[in-house]
């Protein structure tokens, strides 16, 4: 008997983050973001422009990490920066830390002058958040990720962008934060993180307990939708037949038994 898994719900939630973008370059970073974007391309938003993550624009939609099947364009690395600066783009990044105002950190943990742990560096986060619609994927929702204030600002939230002036705020758009527990945005009071929905089987209290700041919670919190039967077939038989998604969002043993 088949069962909808948490990973499937996360993939559908990521797809929903891109469903209304129209013809825009989708830049997913990570396995679940790639799965969700390709799911959107095959279902809710066929106008999405996707790449192989290296140098090709794809007309077809191959399975995760498979060789590109139909190629429609070439985007060498140097051209990506042109798209970041001037193009219509929606990027979904990871986040080591996110604070209550939607600032993101992927640079380092601890004091800037003497960090406890060096991470990726800011990489493209400043340019992404100033120029393009940006979402975040967090595979493990916890108080270590969702903190009152990030140690270093890599990605800029709306409040900080507004304080920096019109040039920084004009295109700043932190659209969605999808985690293994919930879907959030940064449209709460005073540009703070707000809970939009909790995944099936997750309570609002669980999300609050694993968030390291006071989270804005509406009176009625929706349950994140489960993928349709069509989407489940696309996920399981077309895009991820090897079950790679479970490496990021493990399937509970009980669910594994039911799905056999």
Tens digits of residue pLDDT in 105-163: 999 999 888 889 888 878 789 999 999 999 999 999 999 999 999 999 999 999 999 99
pLDDT of residue 179: 98
Region 195-214: what's the mean pLDDT?
A: 97
pLDDT for 123-136, tens place per residue?
789 999 999 999 99
Predicted TM-score (pTM) of this structure: 0.93
How would DSSP label each residue in 62-119? PPTTPPPSSEEEE--HHHHHHHHHHS-EEEEEE-SEEETT--EE-SEEE-SSSEEEE-
Nearest one of 167, 180, 79, 85 to 136, comparing CA atoms: 180
Query: Quick check: 121 and 107 in contact, CB under 8 A?
Result: yes
Taking the C-alpha atoms of residue 74 and residue 51, their distance in angstroms, rounded to an integer, is 9
Q: Is the pLDDT of residue 256 over 60?
A: no
Nearest one of 63, 69, 68 to 38, comparing CA atoms: 63
Q: Is the pLDDT of residue 253 over 70?
A: no
Pairing label, strands 222-223, 194-198: parallel
Query: Quick check: 6 and 240 in contact, CB under 8 A?
Result: no
Contacts 24+ apart (CB under 8 A), 234-239: 234/39, 234/42, 234/43, 235/8, 235/11, 235/35, 235/39, 236/8, 238/42, 238/61, 238/63, 239/35, 239/38, 239/39, 239/42, 239/61, 239/63, 239/64
Residues 6+ positions from 35 with CB-CB distance below 8 Å: 11, 14, 64, 235, 239, 240, 245
Q: Is the pLDDT of residue 259 over 80?
A: no
Q: Is the pLDDT of residue 203 over 80?
A: yes
Taking the C-alpha atoms of residue 226 and residue 209, their distance in angstroms, rounded to an integer, is 24
Question: What integer best gives the mean pLDDT of the chain?
Answer: 92
Q: Where does the pLDDT of residue 85 fall: very low under 50, low under 70, confident under 90, or very high at 90 and above? A: confident
Taking the C-alpha atoms of residue 84 and residue 91, their distance in angstroms, rounded to an integer, is 9
Q: Report the run of H or E that residue 58 belongs to, with start and end.
A: strand 56-58
pLDDT of residue 112: 83
Q: Where does the pLDDT of residue 2 fall: very low under 50, low under 70, confident under 90, or very high at 90 and above? A: low
pLDDT of residue 69: 80
Region 74-85: what's the mean pLDDT?
A: 84
Residues 6+ positions from 176 with CB-CB distance below 8 Å: 13, 17, 135, 136, 183, 184, 185, 196
Q: Where does the pLDDT of residue 84 fall: very low under 50, low under 70, confident under 90, or very high at 90 and above? A: confident
pLDDT of residue 118: 87
Q: Where does the pLDDT of residue 260 fall: very low under 50, low under 70, confident under 90, or very high at 90 and above? A: very low
């Amino acid at each position: 008997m088949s069962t909808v898994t948490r990973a499937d719900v996360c993939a559908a939630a990521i797809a929903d983050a891109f469903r209304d973008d129209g013809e825009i370059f989708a830049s997913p970073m990570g396995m679940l973001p790639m799965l969700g974007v390709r799911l959107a391309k095959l279902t809710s938003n066929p106008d999405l422009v996707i790449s192989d993550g290296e140098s090709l624009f794809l007309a077809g939609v191959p399975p995760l990490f498979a060789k590109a099947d139909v190629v429609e364009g070439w985007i060498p690395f140097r051209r990506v920066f042109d798209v970041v600066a001037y193009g219509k783009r929606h990027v979904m990044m990871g986040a080591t830390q996110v604070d209550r105002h939607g600032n993101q950190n992927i640079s380092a943990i601890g004091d800037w002058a003497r960090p406890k742990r060096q991470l990726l560096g800011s990489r493209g986060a400043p340019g992404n958040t100033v120029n393009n619609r940006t979402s975040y994927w967090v595979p493990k929702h916890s108080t270590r990720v969702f903190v009152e204030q990030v140690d270093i600002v890599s990605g800029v939230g709306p409040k900080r962008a507004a304080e920096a002036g019109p040039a920084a705020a004009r295109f700043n758009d932190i659209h969605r934060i999808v985690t293994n527990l919930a879907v959030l945005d940064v449209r709460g009071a005073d540009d703070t993180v707000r809970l939009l929905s909790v995944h099936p089987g997750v309570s609002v209290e669980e999300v609050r307990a694993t968030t390291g700041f006071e989270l804005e919670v509406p009176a009625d919190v929706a349950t994140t939708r489960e993928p349709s039967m069509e989407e489940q077939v696309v996920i399981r038989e077309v895009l991820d037949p090897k079950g790679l998604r479970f490496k990021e969002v493990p399937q509970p043993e009980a669910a594994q038994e039911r799905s056999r």
